[in-house]
Structure 1
Amino acid sequence: MAVEKKDIEDVAEALGKKFDEFKKTNDKRIDGLEEEKGKLSGQVDTLNEKLGELDALKSSLEKELIALKRPDGTGTKAASEHKTAFMQFVRKGIDTGLGELQAKALQIGVESDGGYAVPEELDRSIIELLRESSPMRQVCNQITVGTPDYKRLVNLGGAGSGWVGETAERPKTDTPTLGQISAFMGEIYANPQATQTSLDDLFFNAEGWLNDEVAREFSEKEGNAFLLGNGTNKPKGLLAYTLDMKSDAERDFGILQKLITGAAGEITGDNLIDLIHALKAGYRANGTWMMGNLTVAYMRKLKDKEGNYLWRPGLEAGAPSVLLGYGITENEDMPDVAADANAIAFGDFKRAYTIVDRIGTRVLRDPYTNKPYVGFYTTKRVGGMLVDSQAVKILTLSAE
């Protein structure tokens, strides 16, 4: 059944009611007698979990509604012929003429080690599925390139401009310091399996199955790498870069600023406010939080000094739940609340981190290794890099 706006509105209404119930119960827990706190604590945790489920359901329905409105892609005749031949290869293993059609549609030949490039339409569908399922892809900048590696210039400081009068001489300006940064690239692979019987079934959506299976396996591995990867044969993750407590004016390029909470494993509303305002105003305009699910649950219990809850549910279609007025991206690869954990990030992730996709996912069909299953060894080159180390701040839950 197709998703409708009313479905989202109904979930949003239920979310609002459940939040009111959560607040009342949590307030009783805080103010109650000692013997009541244990019982109420369990109720609060149950309500907190239900809030998370409703919030996730609302976001999921909103994404589904957007997907339904997305227009179907159209391509050239060469692209259409290539896609038809490729799906014949997937279903039957027949590759007659596929190499020529691939060269015509993509201007690339067949590699010596075998396998074929996924048609561009399917390749972009995989990337789109990755974007929808990966928290880092949802908020970070993404570019697609046709080369194995990617480099760019960044301004490391220095003045390249100035003010002058209409007829005044143009004084010489300082030459800005430019630096070249490179994406940390790696090859990711997946090997989904299907029986030949299912592939022979005309009602089996082989295209959708391959896209979904590959996207799911890719998203788990690359999502972790975009946040925590060490940069060896994989992207270098955001939290893998050096962290320092120095301000923007004092830190070198490529080093992220961290703030500490002052208490191991604990977070206060003041810590969150400090993190927001450590970021320059230009970055705050597109700021968002990133944290794990258990940290979001922790945030729902926090209040300001006037007793107002810092977390607020999104009660209208398209309105996200917010923490101190900023949206939250849940990323299960973020460390949970614990002593010395880098549990919360805040900033403009699109300006901070760039994900690089090399167009050209390749598939090698293998009907022999795991009979009666047919394996589809699928590879894709992907990378990531920090491009603006002032755009994101990290909250470390430590005393010093």
Structure 2
Amino acid sequence: MSLTDIAHRINELASSWEQFKLINDRKLKEIESKGRADSATIEQLCKVNNAIDSCKERLDLIETAAQRPEVNTDFSTSDKYFSDYIRKGMESGLSHKTLSGDDSDIGGYLVTPHIVKRINKRVTDSSPMRQICSSQRISTETLDYIIEDFDRAGAGWSSETVDDEDGGNKSKYDFAKDTDTPKIQKISVTTYELYAQPQISQKLLDDAFVDVESWLVEKIAETFSKEESEAFIKGEGTFQPKGILAYENGNSYNKIEQVKTEKLDSDSIMMLYYSLDEYYSKNASFLMNRSTLKDIRLLKSQTGQYLWQPSLSLEAPDTLMGTSISICRYATSAKQSATSNCDGRFQTSL
């Protein structure tokens, strides 16, 4: 897509947003004067709201395509052996040292490093949690962290010298009191195995024009992204990750602080925004589903400013009170649960 087309899409989004604000302001005036909004106004508002979503989807697709690396056609020998195994069942080349092999009795063969990189890239592109969280590659079942508790090292002011009982001076350190010391603890993060066994028809395998590798990458990446995204939000912690909605309320380790309100309005968003410690506010993100986002677009501050602002460039995300927004289909809506909106610095959460 050309730069002219991209600029046209961005201008279309900006125009839709301005139209949305005008119609929503009219709706608020109708409610204030008549006690309810006209059905025509509500219909127009929903139509423009959907148009904004459509513009955002197209821009997101453009951004993803722009970030996608060029296809590498210089395949290694291991890629050829792997392709022969998929299409023809030929296992002779799989013992080549450039292709890792698992025990064929229990797991078959591992894919080539080239395919692994493509799968990881596609999963990251389509998984909102992978985009806002940090990831660590390990070769064991657990990842150990050495972290401090929430107590910080204490400190105190002192003069350079202190008068002693004999009228002399001693160093301030002779009379210094012990200060608080943060506690160190080891945290073990357990990982879980996620697998996929996509099936392809023999007809497609026999078709020389079908890119089997790309088909395999797309199917595995789609499955992994769906399963990961749901588990990171709703996982119960048994044979799968423990999702953020499964933690108890609190601000200590292994808990997530919850801000409970009667309804989703500007005041509740303010409470959530300012409940996050200033230390974590940098690089923080809001996480919600599309239904919640549509409701939030309607909200205004006491000064009349809309809390949500669309991004008018490919590089920058949409923002809520200046904080970036990530959309995840598995986040609950305001009608389903009181925990419909999350705010935090996900990169440093354990």
Fold match by TM threshold 0.5: yes
Contact kept in structure 2, 1:268 and 1:302, CA below 8 Å: yes
Runs of 4+ deviating beyond 4 Å: 33-36, 71-75, 106-109, 157-165, 167-175
- Which protein, 1 or 2, shows the higher relative CO under an 8 Å CA cutoff with sep ≥ 6? 1
TM-score by length of 2: 0.86
Trace 1:1-400 onto structure 2 (pairs within 5 A): 3-32=1-30, 33=34, 37-67=38-68, 70=69, 80-98=76-94, 100-101=95-96, 104-105=97-98, 109-158=102-151, 176-244=182-250, 251-261=251-261, 263=262, 266-338=263-335, 340-352=337-349, 387=350
Question: C-alpha distance in 2, partners of 1:186/1:317?
Answer: 34
The secondary structure found in structure 2 opposite 1:328 is strand
One-letter amino acid of the counterpart of residue 326, structure 1: T
Question: C-alpha distance in 2, partners of 1:144/1:348?
Answer: 20
Give how far 1:186 is off.
2.2
1:394 aligned residue = none
Question: C-alpha distance in 2, partners of 1:293/1:113?
Answer: 41
Name the CA shift for 1:121/1:184 in 2 (closer, same or farther; >3 Å).
Answer: same
One-letter amino acid of the counterpart of residue 189, structure 1: Y
Question: C-alpha distance in 2, partners of 1:36/1:74?
Answer: 59
One-letter amino acid of the counterpart of residue 85, structure 2: F
Give how far 1:132 is off.
0.7
One-letter amino acid of the counterpart of residue 234, structure 1: Q
Question: C-alpha distance in 1, partners of 2:298/2:113?
Answer: 47
Name the CA shift for 1:321/1:151 in 2 (closer, same or farther; >3 Å).
Answer: same
Give how far 1:74 is off.
10
Extract unaligned runs of 5+ from structure 2: 161-170
TM-score by length of 1: 0.76
Give how far 1:62 is off.
1.2
Number of equivalent positions:
333
Question: C-alpha distance in 1, partners of 2:204/2:99?
Answer: 29
Q: Which structure shows the bigger proportion of residues in strand conformation? A: 1
Name the CA shift for 1:308/1:109 in 2 (closer, same or farther; >3 Å).
Answer: closer
Name the CA shift for 1:87/1:162 in 2 (closer, same or farther; >3 Å).
Answer: farther
Name the CA shift for 1:106/1:148 in 2 (closer, same or farther; >3 Å).
Answer: farther
Question: C-alpha distance in 1, partners of 2:172/2:84?
Answer: 70
Percentage identity across paired residues of the two chains? 28
Residues 223-270 of structure 1: CA distance to partner in whole angstroms, max 9, x if unpaired?
1001110111111112211123xxxxxx43111111122x1xx11212
Give how far 1:126 is off.
0.8
Question: C-alpha distance in 2, partners of 1:147/1:118?
Answer: 19
Name the CA shift for 1:228/1:35 in 2 (closer, same or farther; >3 Å).
Answer: closer
1:248 aligned residue = none
Superposition CA RMSD, Å? 2.8
One-letter amino acid of the counterpart of residue 346, structure 2: F
Name the CA shift for 1:177/1:289 in 2 (closer, same or farther; >3 Å).
Answer: same
Structure of higher CA gyration radius: 2
Extract unaligned runs of 5+ from structure 1: 245-250, 353-386, 388-400
Give how far 1:35 is off.
7.2
Residues 264-300 of structure 1: CA distance to partner in whole angstroms, max 9, x if unpaired?
xx11212212222222223211011100100000011
Name the CA shift for 1:38/1:81 in 2 (closer, same or farther; >3 Å).
Answer: same
Question: C-alpha distance in 2, partners of 1:174/1:301?
Answer: 47
Name the CA shift for 1:204/1:161 in 2 (closer, same or farther; >3 Å).
Answer: farther
